[in-house]
Amino acid sequence: YRFDLIVRGGTIATASDVFRADIGIRNGRIAQIGEALTGDCEVIDASGKYVLPGGIDSHVHVSQPSGEGIVMADDFESGTLSALFGGNTTIMPFCLQEKGRPMREALTAYHKLAEGNCYTDVSFHLIVSDPTDSLLGQELPALAADGYSSFKVFMTYEDLRLSDAEILKTLDVARSTGATVMVHCENEDAIRFLIARHEAAGDVAPRAHASTRPVAVEREATHRALSLAEIVDVPIVIVHVSNGEAMEEIARARARGLKVVGETCPQYLVLTAEDLDGMDWEGAKFVCSPPPRDKAAQAECWRGIETGVFDLFSSDHCPFRYDDERGKRNPKGLASFRHIPNGIPGVETRLPILFSEGVMKGRIDLPRFVSLAATAHARTYGLYPEKGTIAIGSDADLAIWDPTEKRTIRHADLHDGADYSPYEGLEVTGWPTTVILGGRVMVRDNTLVGAKGDGTYRSARTRGAAPL
Ligand code: URP
Ligand code: ZN
Ligand code: ZN
Ligand code: ZN
């Protein structure tokens, strides 16, 4: 039996099993899993290490237009490089439909940005910003059949929010095409009301971002999104859930029989609204929506991870520079928190934080980690079983974790295009020190050996479409 690469002696974990074995890789895929594999090829010694499926981060923003004068800090090159060093082999960024324009136009431009520039594989979600009859009737069904099988809709942001009527129609397209809809749940009218009240009171510092997006704003919208999905009778994904009350809405909808996938993110486990305080606009470094909450909400989110309310753990990486002309994140001249672009970087730190805080501290076991890191993402968005597991025939996308590696997170050591990390100073144990993409070693012992362009675009199946 001939292999191109053997990973020897590691402890392999999938979403269901943990076992000691060698992995034989041929033509970019896993060809054999067994004992004492040999071959006339490169052999990576993984003894003392965990060999896990490469991470899949299914919620990442790169090169997404974000309003006048605001430029996202990562393009496909820096975004995928940062993802790779954080143990990921696939990311799923968002292609944003421009209002009044066809989705295809945005997709063509987005593919062009990605082509030849990626260090990980990529697959796209489509943001529906203008659900016209032609988009819903012709374009989305054709795109869903063409490998673009997940749509995101927003209940917030002035220029992105859809009405309930528009959300119902989009959900109906998902029902008939087998696409999956991700919903950003926050009540925009309530937020506008609170922003006006805070500005009138002169309360305009970054912390007011959190005060104007309280839990009730998210809980109400989560309940509404779940109700709309129930009425249409279609599965949905509730993204970036920040607290126990929104989580309970998901659990209750599940108990009624709705198929719903819940997602949470590192910021809701280790940050709080107090981080938005701080000298000199420093709090802007933590402005994301929904905002980080409090210690009790962190504990609730951990409970959701442990009990399975959350299937997905994503970064919601959405990087803006803090102290830079282009980014406007440190808008010394701007009058209000309202102008701070929403989103924080985190694609490289997502898995080390979950590994260290979750696995090393005994909150979750290794199979649960693998599911939250990779397997559930592949299953939810139609990339399984090529992606998201270690099995014969699957892509040889592997992250080799050294559970003894201790690090203090410093932005200077990360690879994204932002100029800070919201997790600066956080101590973690365990890091993915070697990363393999499609059988190609991309990072070897913390050193980049792969090349830009080694990662490629991967299309996704719709729900119910037969795998393989
Ligand atoms: O604040 C956030 N989360 N920005 C990213 C865009 C989104 O809503 O996911
Ligand atoms: Zn969102
Ligand atoms: Zn997002
Ligand atoms: Zn950077």
Q: Ligand 1: which residue has its CA nearest to atom 2? A: 343
Per-residue pLDDT tens for 108-167?
999 999 999 999 999 999 999 999 999 999 999 999 999 999 999 999 999 999 999 999
Mean pLDDT calculated for residue range 313-336 = 75
**Contact 61 CB / ligand 1 (< 6 Å):** yes
Through-space distance between the first and last CA atoms of the chain, rounded to whole angstroms: 24
Per-residue pLDDT tens for 340-383?
999 999 999 999 999 999 999 999 999 999 999 999 999 999 99
Quick check: ipTM above 0.85? Answer: yes
- Residues within 5 Å of ion ligand 3 by Cβ? 316
Per-residue pLDDT tens for 168-198?
999 999 999 999 999 999 999 999 999 999 9
Per-residue pLDDT tens for 408-462?
999 999 999 999 999 999 999 999 999 999 999 999 999 999 999 999 999 999 9
Please give the number of the atom of ligand 1 that sits closest to the Cα of 61: 5
- pLDDT over 90 for what percent of the chain? 93
Q: Are 235 and 212 in contact (CB under 8 A)?
A: no
**Contact 153 CB / ligand 1 (< 6 Å):** no
**Which ligand has an atom closest to residue 292 CA?**
1
For residue 282, which phi and psi values (nearest 5 degrees)? -55, -30
Q: Taking 70 as the threshold, does the pLDDT of residue 333 lie above it?
A: no
**Both tokens assigned to 147:** 């490998």
Residue-wise burial string across 401-433, b where 16 or more C-beta atoms lie within 10 A, e elsewhere: bbbeeeeebebeebbbbbbbbbbeebebbbbbb
Strand partners, 309: none
**Contact 126 CB / ligand 1 (< 6 Å):** no
Q: How far is the CA of 131 from the centre of ligand 3 (A)?
A: 19
**Contact 343 CB / ligand 1 (< 6 Å):** yes
Strand partners, 51: 12, 400
pTM: 0.97
Mean pLDDT calculated for residue range 238-248 = 98
Banded model confidence at residue 468, pLDDT cuts 50, 70, 90? low
The predicted pLDDT at position 327 comes to: 45
Q: How far is the CA of 419 from the centre of ligand 4 (A)?
A: 5
**Contact 132 CB / ligand 1 (< 6 Å):** no
Q: How far is the CA of 43 from the centre of ligand 3 (A)?
A: 39
Please, which residues have CB within 8 angstroms of residue 244's CB and are 6 or more apart in sequence?
Answer: 296, 297, 300, 301, 303, 304
Q: Are 73 and 319 in contact (CB under 8 A)?
A: yes
Per-residue pLDDT tens for 202-242?
999 999 999 999 999 999 999 999 999 999 999 999 999 99
Please give the number of the atom of ligand 1 that sits closest to the Cα of 152: 9
Write the single-letter amino acid at 286: F
